[in-house]
Amino acid sequence: MSRSHSNAGTVDVDGVSYDWQLQREPHLSDDEGWKGMTILLLQQDAKREALVEFPAPKRLMKGLPRGRLQLDDATISRCVRAAMSAGWEPMSRGRPMVFMVDAEGN
């Protein structure tokens, strides 16, 4: 099921359920300029979270108005796979791990 306008949900990736929620929308930072959105991932029944940061949308850097966020199950699934391949171990303990992805979530 596609959730293109939701700010939270659950997605199944390879038979495992992951909860996700929008942590931060794209915004202008005084120090770093435009920052992209960030989503939080957590495998159900696990301890360690992952924060996935997207690049700032090009339309914002050009001064255009903000568009709707496009978060669907396919994008979230790509984020989970990208975090896992970069070393996220949801069952381990510790602080949330931060990962950068491209605009498609890879």
Q: Kindly state whether residue 32 falls inside one of the protein's structural domains.
A: yes
Q: Give a yes or no: residue 42 inside a domain.
A: yes
Q: Which domain holds residue 38?
A: 8-100
More confidently predicted of 5 and 10: 10
Q: What's the whole-number average pLDDT of the chain?
A: 85
Q: 77: exposed, middle or buried (C-beta count within 10 Å: 0-12, 13-18, 19+)?
A: middle
Reported pTM: 0.81
Q: Is residue 61 part of a domain?
A: yes
First to last CA, the chain: 20
In-domain check, residue 36: yes
What average pLDDT does range 13-23 have in this prediction?
95
> Which of the 8 DSSP states describes residue 7?
S
Long-range contacts of 54-63 (CB under 8 A, 24+ apart): 54/26, 54/101, 54/102, 54/103, 54/105, 55/100, 55/102, 55/103, 56/26, 57/26, 57/103, 60/26, 60/28, 60/34, 61/33, 61/34
Confidence at 1, pLDDT banded by 50, 70, 90: very low
At 62, which amino acid appears?
K
Q: Is residue 106 part of a domain?
A: no
Residue 45 in any domain: the answer is: yes
Confidence tier at 59 by pLDDT (50, 70, 90): low
Domain tally for the chain?
1
Would you say residue 68 has pLDDT above 70? no
The answer, yes or no, to whether residue 38 has pLDDT greater than 80, is yes
74-97 per-position pLDDT tens digit: 999 999 999 999 999 999 999 999
